Amino acid sequence: MTDTLGTSAAVGRAVDATGVEGATPAAATPASVITGGGVRTLPMAKALNAGLAAAMAADEKVVLLGEDIGPLGGVFRVTENLQRDFGPRRVLDTPLAESGIVGAAIGLAMRGYRPVVEIQFDGFIFPAFDQITTQLAKLTARHEGSLSLPVVIRVPYGGHIGAVEHHQESPEAYFAHTAGLRLVSPATPHDAYWMIQEAIASDDPVMFFEPKSRYWPKGEVNLDASGAPLHASRVVRTGTDVTVVGHGAMVSMLLDAAALAEEEGTSIEVLDLRSLSPIDYGPILDSVRRTGRLVVAQEAPGSVSIGSEIAATVSEKAFFSLEAPVIRVSGFDTPFPPAKLEGAYLPDVDRILDGVDRALSY
């Protein structure tokens, strides 16, 4: 829960800074785009900024489109200084129309560009839902493979930031249900750095879900890291009693839960999905075959969700290894509540540990 407070404070800072930064002439702003190599300690927002800069430097066909991503650097400052460094032709402040942004990005990709779209907030993606699901996702099949659409759609998502309606949602399941899209979500600054570059390098449309409550906590980023496979899940912490899996902001919470559980003598293995479509089941199944128990945690509502899919698949493929039913720990099947209720809505360490206890009770 300290994490929640910390990031809420960070949101306040970011919003407060808006006027100041907006008023500063871009040319006078000191360089803050991270360049060069080595290991740096960075928040995820900066790591993404560095990853975008690296991708843009490597390929002039990479262009960014979004609302307020130019001089302002995006409402989360992920694109800060990129327009200054790469010019207004590479970083486009678009009219305020999400379907227009994605539709135009599709056209640019048809022309050979690699557009990276920023959707300002999770809940604002739905005006673009049609272009994403009926056009972007299907055009490669409609062209019988002669057309690739290397479009990345960056979606800041998730709660724990105390924001107003439509600013804290986790809509990934809608898109995971749609063939033709790839979905990934980094949990750490380092993963954000290389995964955004791999997403841009992919010839397929990639929806890149950025856990916005993790934009500000810092972590080590190896700027020399070359890309790992974009769709590989990873074991973050080994354990023997229960497997817990999650993605995005949930991963650090799972680690906190595992640390607490260890004090009580329960050994939890933590997996970071990284990829939501396709889901990399190999490490999950390996883990479940050892522990016999699985808890899937997510901020999104539980019904018909990523967690549901994992529960179904693990039940099919590791049925005889399971000592307990797969437990889902998730947001409720309600609209995201007003911010003061988000603590009751979102899974936290205690709800995760409750799920672990339920799995262990069989």
Partner 1 sequence: MSHPAETLQLLAPDGRLVEDERTERYRPVVESLDESLLQRFHRTMSVIRAFDIEAGNLQRQGQLALWIPSLGQEAAQVGSGYAARAQDHIFPAYREHAVGHIRGLDVVQIIAMLRGLSHGGWVPEEVGNFHLYTLVIGSQTLHATGYAMGVQFDGLVGTGDAERDTAVLVYFGDGATSQGDVNEAFVFAQSYQTPQVFFLQNNHWAISVPVSVQSRTPLYRRPEGFGIPSIQLDGNDVLASYAVTRERLDAARAGEGPQFIEALTYRMGAHTTSDDPTKYRTADEVEHWRQRDPIARFETYLRGRGASEQFFADVAAEAADFAADARRRTLELTPPPAESMFAHVYSEPHPVMQAQAEWLRSYEASFEGEGA
Residue 338's Cβ-side half-sphere holds a number of Cα atoms within 13 Å equal to 1
Quick one: which segment of 13-21, 29-37, 202-210, 301-309 binds partner 1 (CB under 8 A)? 202-210
Closest contact distance (angstroms) between CB of 309 and partner 1 is: 11
Among 1, 6, 203, 344, binds partner 1 (CB under 8 A): 203
The 3-state DSSP class for residue 306 equals helix
Is 77 within 8 Å of 219 (Cβ atoms)?
Answer: no
Taking the C-alpha atoms of residue 346 and residue 334, their distance in angstroms, rounded to an integer, is: 11
217 binds partner 1 (CB under 8 A): no
- 227 vs 335, beta carbon nearer partner 1: 227
Q: 182 - beta bridge partners?
A: 206
107 lines the binding site for partner 1 (CB under 8 A): yes
Interface characters, 57-76, with partner 1 (x: CB under 8 A):
------x-------------
Binding region for partner 1 (CB under 8 A) out of 45-53, 142-150, 153-161, 263-271: 142-150
Distance CA 198, CA 192 (A): 10
182: contact with partner 1 by CB under 8 A: yes
Indicate whether 131 belongs to the interface with partner 1 (CB under 8 A): yes
Which stretch in 90-98, 213-221, 320-328, 337-345 sits in contact with partner 1 by CB under 8 A? 90-98
Is 167 a known active-site residue?
Answer: yes
Contacting residue, 28, 30, 37, 144, with partner 1 by CB under 8 A = 144
How, if at all, do strands 39-43 and 218-222 pair? antiparallel
Token code pair at residue 346: 């979102």
Q: Whole-number minimum distance, CB 28 to partner 1, in Å? A: 27
340 interacts with partner 1 by CB under 8 A: no
Token digits of residue 297: 């945690």
177 near partner 1, rule: CB under 8 A? no
Closest separation between CB of residue 202 and partner 1, Å?
7
Q: From 248, 131, 250, 140, select the one nearest 202 (Cα to Cα).
A: 140
Interface residue with partner 1 among 141, 164, 232, 341 (CB under 8 A) is 141
Active-site position among 143, 160, 167, 177 = 167
Print the binding letters for residues 108-127 with partner 1: x by CB under 8 A, - otherwise.
xxxxxx-x-----------x
B/e letters for 203-218, b = 16+ CB within 10 Å, e = fewer, are ebbbbbbbbbbbbbbe
Instruction: Report DSSP letters for 43-67, one per residue.
Output: EHHHHHHHHHHHHHHH-TTEEEEES
Binding status of residue 146 toward partner 1 by CB under 8 A: yes
Q: How far apart are CA 94 and CA 122, in angstroms?
A: 18
The per-type count for the chain, helices as H runs and strands as E runs, is 13, 14
Q: Could you say whether residue 134 binds partner 1 (CB under 8 A)?
A: yes
Residue 24 Ramachandran class (φ > 0 left, ψ -120 to 50 alpha, else beta): beta
User: Which residues are catalytically annotated?
Assistant: 167
Binding site for partner 1 (CB under 8 A): 63, 89, 92, 94-95, 97, 99-100, 102-113, 115, 127, 130-131, 134-135, 138-146, 148-149, 179-180, 182, 202-204, 231, 278
